[in-house]
Structure 1
């Protein structure tokens, strides 16, 4: 049981650090005016329709190899009887 007391200082330091960071981070974001936020959203939605490569075709996605993890030999060609 005495060995568990070695864990108390790191737990206390961690809890104090978390409380300190939470206290400092409360006001770090700042307020954004509602009208400015709406304008930013409208600009972002208008930009969404644009493509990165206008006039070009979309890149072809290669088909996924459906490997089973088992090595399979290719089948032999059927023998022709003469």
Structure 2
């Protein structure tokens, strides 16, 4: 379903999971946001660039932990 980018098959998979006797998959299926999960492999765009920026900011924050306040962190994020 994911490698072939066929998100429209998700509702059938969720119905199959609900009928099976696998409690961990039932819990997963109950917590899924159907529209978001169907859109992921179906639509042609992604959030890779945004995730890259978030990852970069988190790395800067971790490296600076305990060393300075928000003002320095803000300056490093904006200048990097």
> Does TM, normalized by the shorter one, top 0.5?
no
TM superposition score normalised by structure 1:
0.26
TM superposition score normalised by structure 2:
0.27
If each structure's helix is expressed as a fraction of its own residues, which one has the higher value? Answer: 2
